[in-house]
Amino acid sequence: MGLCFSKPDIKDEESEHHVEFGAGNVHLITTKIAWDQKLEEARSDGKIVIANFSATWCGPCKMIAPFYCEISEKYPSLMFLVVDVDELSDLSTSWDIKATPTFFFLKDGQQIDKLVGANKPELQQKVTAMADSLAPDGH
């Protein structure tokens, strides 16, 4: 089962380890610099970030990945990120990740909500609420 990622245009051996879907609005974060850049981009664009702290060995993470990819396409007003907790252990530690998947909802770089576990209905509900909070009144 693959994950959908918008990957940077970097050709190296490590990129071969990730399976990509052709579509999706999910950005794979592989460095702290990329994390900081995406948070700054979201801040300047007024977007809410959904950060999925995941692991390649995590069954529930694999189970929810296609759903996460699917909802990323429905909500272009939000920024969807995936962080591999093993690749970026320092970042994961700084966010106090105790279980995978853990989804953080960030506005201006600050946590506004959190979901631990691969709960599709709850993830859908929280993502919809975030998107609605950004929509102009009456839409």
**pLDDT tens digits for the chain (139 residues)?**
344 544 443 333 343 344 444 347 899 999 999 999 999 999 999 999 999 999 999 999 999 999 999 999 999 999 999 999 999 999 999 999 999 999 999 999 999 999 999 999 999 999 999 999 987 654 4
13 domain residue, yes or no: no
Catalytic residues: 58, 61
12 domain residue, yes or no: no
Q: Cβ distance 63 to 108 under 8 Å?
A: no
pLDDT of residue 4: 53
23 domain residue, yes or no: yes
Cis amide linkage into residue 101, ω under 30° from 0 = yes
Q: Cβ distance 106 to 48 under 8 Å?
A: yes
128 domain residue, yes or no: yes
32 domain residue, yes or no: yes
pLDDT of residue 8: 43
64 domain residue, yes or no: yes
6 domain residue, yes or no: no
The residues that bridge with 111 in the sheet, in sequence order, are 106
State the total domains in the chain.
Answer: 1
Domain holding 122, by residue range, is 18-133
Angle, vertex CA 29, rays to CA 91 and CA 45, nearest 5:
100
CATH for 28? 3.40.30.10
5 domain residue, yes or no: no
